[in-house]
Amino acid sequence: MVIQNKKIAIVGGGPGGLTLARLLQLKGADVKVYERDINKEVRVQGGALDLHTESGLAALEKAGLLDEFKMHYRPGAELTRVVNNQAEIYADQHGTRTVEKFGDKNHRPEIDRGPLREIMLNSLQPGTVVWDSHILSIEKLQDTWKLVFQNGNTVIADIVIGGDGANSKIRPFVTDIKPFWTGITMIEGSIKEAETTAPVIHKLLKGGKIFAFGNDKTLIVSSKGDGSFGFATSFKTKEFWDKECGIDFKDNKQMLAWFKQEYKEWSSIWYELFENGNTIFIPRPQYCMPLNQKWKAQSNITLIGDAAHWMPPFAGEGVNMAMLDALQLSENLTSNEFENTKKAIANYEKQMFRRFAIVGQGTLFNTEWMHKSKALNNMLSMFSPNILKQGLFISKMVLSVYVIPTIRKVFGLVPKQASFYDERIDLNKMGI
């Protein structure tokens, strides 16, 4: 294999980085993961994740971790209720959805981020993850890289793989391509002991997911196995809204006031999400890497996951793509098919670019319709037992995701960099 006797440094111990470390270690590679979290006890933020058969689950199977996954996933957590802004249920998968099995194409079992990380960490040789290793930068030496950490440490590696997420420090050493602004800001929240702190939403959630739509806004709530739940609401804003709006996202009173103003058409049922003093809010402005991105492969550095192809989360593909990147890159680096690391990396990147062009298009398609006035109708068409209704929506998607991009490719047209923002949220009017 082309990485014989090479020291590999993976930057970032997210789902992408840890999957890659496991897959490479299974083939005897010398690999370390440098993670900025202080230690493995740091609580992993974010809602539950659904893993897809052809990507996330395929990577877990190759990593020999599918049985472990089956012991920790949460059957039923994927069951969704689609509601309007008054929390009236329009579609409900509880009791109606056929239960799929592992191996079925459409099976999307859910797992919380914490247990997923735990499964991966337990599968690695002791000392593989070097905690408290916040990378500030890297320096190119002759044939190697010097990694420089915030804590003053440095290490030398033969190959660097950036799995350090959306705001990757490694990306600029691979490409000067920048993500573009999509026009959407998301605010993520996390509620502990939901049964007592947000009892009405907890009941509505029923251990699954809620998708709520209204007034060009989206609210997704997702249950977690520890009795907490994660939620994320998204809406159109101008770029840098999170910095310029004047809201202190740590001040829950301000957050509630903001929600009441900005979501005034929404039922007061949702206030539960914002009222509790313990809720933590994280603003997440939504960017996307250009769908036609490409760069020249190098022999000793590459990117996986959000570092490679940051996109909004509205197609639920981010983790799945990060894990599939890890699978494809590990196969290339450990196969005897390639003459050298550069060819192995170039082949991986080619597959990744092609895949992202399609998945990213689907993601932007969802991002757009989910923040339009007909979002609820569109979601219901997707869930509809009426084949005609569902077919119409799927045709729209196929046109947007496959047909138009193919026409663009044939005629050499540049894909549009969608920004869905078309109106300004006036904070003065909101009294904040």
Ligand X SMILES: Cc1cc2nc3c(=O)[nH]c(=O)nc-3n(C[C@H](O)[C@H](O)[C@H](O)COP(=O)(O)OP(=O)(O)OC[C@H]3O[C@@H](n4cnc5c(N)ncnc54)[C@H](O)[C@@H]3O)c2cc1C
- Closer residue to ligand X (CB): 319 or 333: 319
Structure-block tokens of residue 140: 């190119």
Q: Which is nearer to ligand X, 213 or 338 (CB)?
A: 213
Q: How far is the CB of 133 from ligand X (least distance, A)?
A: 6
Please, which residue, 50 or 68, has the CB nearer to ligand X?
Answer: 50
Q: Using an 8 Å Cβ cutoff, are 236 and 373 in contact?
A: no
Q: Which is nearer to ligand X, 172 or 199 (CB)?
A: 172
In angstroms, give the least distance from the CB of 286 to ligand X.
9
Closest separation in Å from C-beta 28 to ligand X: 23
Residues with Cβ within 8 Å of residue 395, at least 6 apart in sequence: none
Q: In the complex, what is the shortest distance from the CB of residue 53 to ligand X, in angstroms, rounded to a whole number?
A: 13
Closest to 235 measured CA to CA, from 253, 269, 252, 258: 258
**Closest CB to ligand X among residues 2, 168:** 168
The Cα angle at residue 171 between residues 168 and 175, in degrees rounded to 5: 155
Distance in Å, CB of 277 to ligand X, minimum: 21
Q: Which residues contact 342 (CB under 8 A, 6 or more apart)?
A: 297, 298, 299
| Cβ-based nearer residue to ligand X, 306 or 349 | 306
Rank residues 139 and 265 by Cβ distance to ligand X and give the closer one: 139
The DSSP secondary structure of 130-143, one letter per residue, reads E-S--EEEEEE-SS
If residue 8 lies in a helix (H) or strand (E), which one and from where to where?
strand 7-11
Closest distance to ligand X from the beta carbon of 136 (Å): 7
Geometric angle at alpha carbon 377, from 373 and 380, rounded to 5°: 145
Residues 315 and 366 sit within 8 Å (Cβ to Cβ): yes
> Closest distance between ligand X and the C-beta of residue 358, in Å?
15
Q: What residues line the site for ligand X (CB under 6 A)?
A: 11-17, 34-37, 46-47, 49, 133-135, 163-165, 169, 186, 188, 232, 284, 305-307, 313, 316-320, 322
Kindly tell me the burial class for residue 392, based on how many C-beta atoms sit within 10 Å of its own C-beta (0-12, 13-18, 19 or more). middle
Nearest CA-CA partner of 311 in 356, 254, 266: 356
